[in-house]
């Protein structure tokens, strides 16, 4: 597959590199390697985020959700939603047109999944997109997935208001799932992450904004949190029944995750 003709690194491309994909370009590789040098935990955080997505989708299908809107999805590879929940209807949304173009090629043999161009900052444009409304039935529960995307929306653009606009038209029984970067609790890791954010924001189009657990919890206003609430993403419904949180795992400290039920 021909690489997109672009020279600026994007979050989708950097994420693809971290996950071992093949849809990134040279600028993405360079940005990912530079950020990995300043924050060696970056690739493990990307892995933890993808594992949280998998557990989220499996949980939602277990409670009867069979359609998903994944905003800020990047490329639908490396165990994306339609692979974890076969038979479900899935719309991937990304604001980079070349990411969407490649994604549509990847999904060409998947009749129940598609990718559309849209910007989280314009929820109405996404929710009213003819391909979104053509595939998803908003009178039935939807799994709204905002995985590692809200930390690219600065406070001055009112991310809480954006989330409320996204959830407003969704039927009772829909769920909001969020993963979000946060500052680690120990000073050494926090210093590493600050260095990483500086490098990342200098080289990638979308700037990164860490938030506290309290700030991320506010995105779930109007929903009922699924137990155990907002926690470190690795600690949310772990697959291993004998899972014990590793306090020494610094990568575990920088990603929050949770799900809220609507209605």
User: Are the CB atoms for 262 and 222 separated by under 8 Å?
Assistant: yes
Report if residue 71 sits inside a domain. Answer: yes
- Residues making up the chain, counted from first to last: 263
Q: What is the pLDDT of residues 72-96, one digit of tens each?
A: 998 898 789 999 999 999 999 999 8
Per-residue pLDDT of 22-60, as tens digits, reads 777 888 788 777 777 766 677 788 889 999 999 999 999
Q: How many domains does the chain have?
A: 1
- What are 237-255's pLDDT values in tens digits? 999 988 888 877 877 888 9
CATH of the domain at 136: 3.40.50.150
Backbone angles phi, psi at 67, to 5 degrees: -145, 145
Bridge partner residues of 255 (DSSP): 181
- Cα 173 from Cα 261, distance rounded (Å): 6
Q: Tell whether 36 is covered by a domain.
A: yes
pLDDT tops 90 at residue 159: yes
In a domain? residue 255? yes
Residue identified by tokens 């954006």 is 162
Examine residue 2 and state whether it is found in any structural domain, yes or no.
no
Question: CA-to-CA distance for 116 and 161, rounded, in angstroms?
Answer: 22
Can you give the residue range of the structural domain that contains 135?
A: 11-261
Residues 81 and 204: their CA atoms lie apart, in Å, by 25
Residue 2's pLDDT band (cuts 50, 70, 90): very low
């Amino acid at each position: 597959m021909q690489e997109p003709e672009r020279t600026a690194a994007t979050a989708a491309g950097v994420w693809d590199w971290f996950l071992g994909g093949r849809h990134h370009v040279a600028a993405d590789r360079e940005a990912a390697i530079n950020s990995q040098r300043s924050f060696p935990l970056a690739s493990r955080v990307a892995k933890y985020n993808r594992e949280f997505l998998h557990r989220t989708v499996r949980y939602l299908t277990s409670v009867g959700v069979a359609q998903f809107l994944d905003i800020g999805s990047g490329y639908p590879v490396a165990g994306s939603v339609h692979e974890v929940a076969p038979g479900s209807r899935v719309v991937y949304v990304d604001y980079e047109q070349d990411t969407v173009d490649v994604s549509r090629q990847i999904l060409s043999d998947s009749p129940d999944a598609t990718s559309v161009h849209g910007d989280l900052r314009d929820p109405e444009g996404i929710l009213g997109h003819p391909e979104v409304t053509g595939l998803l039935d908003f009178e039935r529960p939807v799994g709204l997935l905002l995985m590692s995307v809200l930390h690219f929306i600065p406070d001055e653009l009112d991310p809480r208001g954006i989330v409320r606009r996204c959830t407003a038209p969704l039927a009772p029984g829909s769920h909001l799932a969020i993963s979000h970067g946060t500052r680690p609790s120990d000073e050494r890791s926090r210093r590493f992450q600050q260095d990483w954010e500086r490098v990342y924001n200098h080289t990638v189009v979308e700037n990164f904004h860490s938030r506290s657990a309290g700030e991320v919890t506010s995105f779930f206003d109007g929903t009922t949190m699924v137990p155990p609430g907002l926690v470190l993403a690795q600690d949310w419904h772990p697959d291993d029944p004998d899972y014990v949180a590793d306090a020494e795992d610094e990568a575990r400290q920088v990603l929050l995750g949770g799900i809220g039920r609507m209605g």
